[in-house]
Amino acid sequence: MKKNLLTKSASYLILVIASFFSLFPLFWTFSTSIKNRVDTYVLPPKFFNFDPTLRNYTSLLKIRSFPHIYLNSIFVTLMSTVGCLIFGSLAAYAFARRPKFRGRTALDALMIAVRALPAIVIVLPIYKLSSYLGAYDSVWALILLYIGFNIPFAIWLLTSFFQQIPLEIEEAARVDGASNTRTFIQVILPLAAPGLVATGIFVSLLSWNEFLIPIIMAGENAKTLPVFVASFIANKNLDWGPMAAAATVAMVPIVAFTVFIQRWLVTGLSSGAVKD
């Protein structure tokens, strides 16, 4: 396809400007996090001409509960991703291979409803219920909730992936006498591996970033990183350095993650959406 010079340069310009806007807030947060206080509260802002310091990060680490909170986030994210993938792939497989089965329409409807539902509608009753069960401030309650909230999305994505697997392979396995389970585990899952990875990435991101649920359901024990980051808004007087350090610490893993797996992400979104 012949591209004329005007379109090409216009596109480059647009992409460069957009990239600048995408990256600048990250750059600014990071640079604020390595500044001393005297360099933060100054106009004109200092972009590069300051002495960097790790003071803000060390003060973050000195907060005794910080490692615990970080570990909570990792643990909850991991477990909820695993849970979503296990139960999600099972259900998605059923959706992909059986156009009609008992309760399918109901489940279908429920999953879309969850997607449309603002979490606040559910979380308030959940809080009240959890106080009866003694499940307030429990990591496992968080994990259960994260799985429940994210499973519709996981099923949605995984179903398209399963649909792409040719039926012939399954038929071949069945002809060889494999049971349903064996077919699923040994044949289908490996083939759907890219889809599982893509879905897993999305679900982990959703869990890592979840805020409304833990801010209501978690006390000190089950606190996760977003809740910790949110506690940095306070008086004007506050040192922006630690604030920026907290934000950076929450964002860096994701940025690193993106660079690493961006290929999977795009596959996931495009196949999920287009194959609608």
Partner 1 sequence: MGLVTSLSRKQQRLTRPIAHYTLGAWILLTLTILIPLFYGIYISLLNINLASFLPPQFVGLKNYHTALIAPETWSTLKLTVLLMMMGMTIQIPLGIVLALALHQQLRGTRIFRSILITPMLLTPVAVGLTFRFMFDTDLGIINWFLGRFGIEGVNWLGAQFSGLVAIVIVDSWQSIPFVMLLVLAALSAIPVSLFEAAKVDGASGRQIFRNIMLPLITPTILVIVMIKVMDFLKLFDTIFMLTRGGPGNATTTIGLWTYKTGFQFLELSRAAALGVIILIITFPVYLLWRKSTKVQR
Partner 2 sequence: MFYGKKARLIPLAIVSILILAGCSKASSDKASGEINVFLIPSPSSTSIQSFIPEFEKQTGIKVNFSETPYGEAHQKQLLSYQQKSGAYDVAQFDNTFLAPFCQAKVMLSLDKFIQGSKEYDIGDFSTAQQDYGKCKGQTLGLTLSTEPMIQWYRTDIYKKLGLTPAKTWDEYYTNAKKIQASGEGGQIMGFGPNVSWWWMTLVWSFGGHLYDDSLNPTVNSKEAVAATDYLKKLLAVSPKGAITASGDDVTSRFLGENIGAMLNYSGYYGMALDPKINKNQGNIGTAPMPMGAADITHLAGWNIGIPADAKNPDAAWKFLEFVLGKTNSKAYLESGAAAIGRQSIINDPELVAKNPYLPQLNIPASSRVERYPQIAVWPEFETAAIEAVTQVLTGKQSSQAAMDALNEKLKPILVKEPRG
Task: Summarize as ranges the residues that interact with partner 2 (CB under 8 A).
Answer: 38, 41, 64-65, 86, 90, 127, 130-131, 133-141, 144, 180-181, 185, 215, 219-221, 230-231, 233-238
Judged by CB under 8 A, the chain residues 7 through 26 that form the site for partner 1 are 7-8, 10-12, 14-15, 18-19, 21-23, 25-26
Q: Rounded to whole angstroms, how far apart are CA atoms 242 and 229?
A: 10
Q: Which two tokens stand for residue 263?
A: 């290929």
Q: How far apart are CA 166 and CA 96, in angstroms?
A: 11
What are the b/e assignments for 209-228, b being 16+ CB within 10 Å?
ebeebbebbbeeebbbbbbb
DSSP 8-state symbol, 95 = H
Residue 186 is a binding residue for partner 1 (CB under 8 A): no
Q: By CB under 8 A, is residue 133 in contact with partner 1?
A: no
**CB 56 → partner 2: shortest distance, Å?**
15
CB atoms within 10 A of CB 101: 11
Residue 65 CA to residue 68 CA, distance in Å, equals: 5
Residue carrying structure tokens 């959706």: 95
Positions in 67-126 near partner 1 (CB under 8 A): 83, 86-88, 90-91, 93-99, 101-104, 107-126
Determine which residue in the list 63, 129, 185, 193 makes contact with partner 1, applying CB under 8 A: 129
CB burial class (10 A; 0-12, 13-18, 19+) of residue 160? buried
Q: Choose from partner 2, partner 1, none: what does 105 bind? Cβ within 5-8 Å by kind.
A: none
**Complex with partner 1: residue 79 or 95, whichever CB lies closer:** 95
Could you say which of 5, 62, 134, 274 contacts partner 1 (CB under 8 A)? Answer: 274
Map the footprint of partner 1 across residues 231-260, applying CB under 8 A. Answer: 232-233, 240, 243-244, 246-247, 250-251, 254-255, 257-259
End-to-end CA separation in angstroms for the chain: 28
Binder of residue 153, out of partner 1, partner 2, none (CB less than 5 to 8 A by kind): none
